[in-house]
Amino acid sequence: MKEHQTNQNNSREIILSNLRKAGKRAWEDRWSETVPEGNVFDTISDPPAYFKQELESLGGQVFIENNEVAAWTRLGKLKQERGWKQFWVADEELKKKCLELDLPVSECVPGEEDEDISVGLTSCEALIALTGSILVSSAASGRKINIFPPIHVVIAGKDLLVDSIKDGLEKIENKYGGRPSQISLISGPSRTADIEKTLVMGAHGPRELITIIY
């Protein structure tokens, strides 16, 4: 048994060692002929409108506002119209802004249950116009807030809009000098059809995804 465990540990170290030696873009060097030069897709002329079109086709909601004040005003209106009680916010800048505008913020911490928490509020690392996707990482708001509440609201500036996933990943690498421990790509609300091929919303994450861009 002890020998078996030792062999497993050795195998694990060999694999990890090979991965470290390979580098992040080793496949580009080894199979360079398969890596296209330049952009595969045309440049998007109106990223906000394209992002809105793509995400809404996936069941998300997108509001495009003229400035940050209008974006937060929109959030306040949504809270009033939808009867939201409070927001779960991990990002300190967003939390500070909520408190300035008298938007109630939950003191609940990951692992605690609070039935009043129906809305998670986050920013993001990038908005991918081509696919209508939201790129998030564990560095900004942790891992749980993007999937725990039934409603996920993202508020972000237009400066975070990029054309492609590749551009979004480069944005993250430039910001952190590498990649955070977790990077997720969110394309619409959670949906699954595992059981009898019946579509169910919100089974494995938020049933609603709302993005406010300014």
Partners of residue 209 on adjacent β-strands: 152
Quickly state the pLDDT bin for 127 (edges 50, 70, 90): very high
Cα separations in angstroms, 148 against 74, 106, 144, 190, 208: 23, 14, 6, 11, 12
- The pLDDT score that the predictor gives to residue 23 is 63
Partners of residue 200 on adjacent β-strands: 192
**Count: domains in the chain:** 2
Count of Cβ atoms closer than 10 Å to residue 71 Cβ: 18
Collapsing DSSP states into helix, strand and coil, what is residue 150? Answer: coil
CATH of the domain at 184: 3.40.50.10420
Closest CA to 123 of 100, 145, 101, 150: 145
Closest CA to 89 of 110, 71, 111, 115: 110
In angstroms, the CA 36 to CA 159 distance is: 27
Q: Tell me the pLDDT tens digit for each residue of 90-117.
A: 899 999 999 999 999 986 655 555 556 7
| 12 and 47 housed in the same domain | no
Domain limits at 150? Answer: 41-213
| Candidate from 5-19, 61-75, 122-136, 141-155 with smallest mean pLDDT | 5-19
| 8 and 95 housed in the same domain | no
| 105 and 55 housed in the same domain | yes
> Could you tell me the pTM of the whole model?
0.79
**Residue 165 burial (CB < 10 Å; 0-12/13-18/19+)?**
middle
